[in-house]
Amino acid sequence: MAATPVVVNPKGSLWSRLPLVKQLAQSVGLQRGMLVAGLVLVALFLLTAALAPLLAPYGFAQLRDESGRFGSQQPPSAEHLFGTTVSGYDVLSRTIWGAQTAVLVIVVAVTMSLIIGVLLGVFSGYFGGTLDRILVVVCDAIYAFPSLLLAIVMSIVISGGQSSLLGGIMSAAISITVVFIPQYFRVVRAETVRIKAEAFVESAKVIGASNMRIMFRHVLRNATRTLPLILTLNASEAILTLAGLGFVGFGIEPTSAAEWGYDLNRSIADVSSGIWWTALYPGLAIVLVVLGITLVGESLNDLADPRLRTRHRAIASPAAAATANEVDELEKPE
């Protein structure tokens, strides 16, 4: 257990094999453009979240400064570049601070669902039996259910609705986690069931490796090929779910954190009277972030699929696809 595996690497330097770097080098033309655009958007989003205290002119719950109250529904001006909301918050500041909330929720939700989903998937697929069958049926049921509704129910359970910053973020994240676990579970379980039958697992058993060792060294490491894709998809879905929760009034209170969905909910009435700035900016923020993450995920997906990958020279022909498949076979480790 103590011995850390030494990365032997026959195919170039570690740098060129790092996840995104490899794909970036592999991509050409439009596909590279989409990947780069996505990466730029994601980088901007992360920077905004990290530097929110420096970038935002005001606090997210600030209603007044030295010169008095901000005032309600003020149009964009020099003091308030994006105007103010109906409650008198500065729209620009809340949009910037919202990035921080979104990052926190994504990180917590994706990490939790990844760990729980993968572990459940490996155990369930490896051992099989009644528990496996029950888990499959339950996960299928959750998977088929409208995720927003489930998230709403979960957030009622966790916080009884609105709550503080940490409580709100945790409850939103946990609600989202529950929705996502089945996705990881299904993929990892299916792969585990497939890999379990492979010869190298048998050999490990013959040598006398423990179940734990087989699961984590031999099965899990081969079952995670598709996870980066699900991960990016989930990150964007997490933002949409968080915004959806905020929009139906089950998100985070405005005084605890800035949350784009809540701000959009408050802007419904504004829009009817022609006030556009309270809805536009938080909405655009959501769109750009989800767009960025999805572009990255889509590009990774296309690059992983030889049928969809644009090639350096010729456009993929059936023959090229066939060689690509062979390469995939060869890449199968151990």
Partner 1 sequence: MTTTEISPSAPLDGTTTERVKGGGNLGRYILVRLLLIIPTVFILVTMVFILMRLIGDPITASLGGRLSPDQLEERKEAAGYNRPIWVQYVEYIGQVFTGNFGTTISDNRPVSEVLLTYGGATAELVFYSLIVAFVVGIPLGLLAAYLRDRWQDASLRVFAILCYATPVFFSGLLLKLVFSVWLGWLPVSGRASTRTELDLLLLDNPTGIYLIDAFRTGDMDNVWDVLAHAVLPAIALGLLTAGVFLRLVRTNVIGTLGREYIDSARSRGVGELRLVRKHAYKPALIPIITVIGLQIALLLGGAVLTETTFEWKGLGFILVEYLSSRDFVAVQGIVALLAVIVAVSNFIVDIIAALIDPRVRY
Residues that bind partner 1 (CB under 8 A): 29-30, 33-34, 137-138, 140-142, 144-149, 152-154, 156-157, 160-161, 236, 240, 243-244, 247-250, 261, 264-265, 267-268, 271-274, 276, 279-280, 283, 286-287, 290-291, 294-295, 298, 307-308, 310, 315, 318, 321
Q: Are strands 68-69 and 64-65 parallel, antiparallel or unpaired?
A: antiparallel
Q: 251: alpha, beta or left, given left = phi > 0 and alpha = psi -120 to 50?
A: beta
- In angstroms, the Cα distances linking 201 to 37, 192, 206, 211, 226 are 41, 11, 9, 10, 20
- In angstroms, the Cα distances linking 97 to 34, 173, 216, 222, 268 are 27, 17, 39, 39, 21
Q: Could you tell me the smallest distance in angstroms from the CB atom of residue 235 to partner 1?
A: 12
Q: Could you tell me the smallest distance in angstroms from the CB atom of residue 279 to partner 1?
A: 5
- By CB atoms closer than 10 A (0-12, 13-18, 19+), residue 321 is middle
Between 222 and 241, name the residue whose CB sits nearer to partner 1.
Answer: 241
Between 20 and 141, name the residue whose CB sits nearer to partner 1.
Answer: 141
Enumerate the H helices of the chain as residue ranges. 14-17, 19-26, 29-50, 52-55, 91-127, 129-144, 147-159, 165-196, 199-207, 211-213, 227-247, 260-266, 268-272, 277-304, 318-331
Between 53 and 160, name the residue whose CB sits nearer to partner 1.
Answer: 160
Between 98 and 261, name the residue whose CB sits nearer to partner 1.
Answer: 261
Give the closest residue to 227 by CA, choosing from 118, 106, 105: 118
Q: Could you tell me the smallest distance in angstroms from the CB atom of residue 162 to partner 1?
A: 10
CA–CA distance, 199 with 285 (Å, rounded to integer): 49
Q: Could you tell me the smallest distance in angstroms from the CB atom of residue 272 to partner 1?
A: 5
Which residue type sits at 116? Answer: I
Q: Could you tell me the smallest distance in angstroms from the CB atom of residue 61 to partner 1?
A: 22
Give the closest residue to 175 by CA, choosing from 237, 224, 223: 237
Residue 215 DSSP label: I
Q: Could you tell me the smallest distance in angstroms from the CB atom of residue 158 to partner 1?
A: 9
What does the radius of gyration of the chain's CA atoms come to, in whole angstroms? Answer: 23
Between 36 and 280, name the residue whose CB sits nearer to partner 1.
Answer: 280
- In angstroms, the Cα distances linking 56 to 27, 159, 256, 332 are 36, 29, 16, 48
Q: Could you tell me the smallest distance in angstroms from the CB atom of residue 53 to partner 1?
A: 26
Q: Could you tell me the smallest distance in angstroms from the CB atom of residue 302 to partner 1?
A: 9
Between 146 and 208, name the residue whose CB sits nearer to partner 1.
Answer: 146
Give the closest residue to 245 by CA, choosing from 175, 292, 143: 175
Between 173 and 286, name the residue whose CB sits nearer to partner 1.
Answer: 286
Which residue type sits at 288? Answer: L
Between 190 and 209, name the residue whose CB sits nearer to partner 1.
Answer: 190
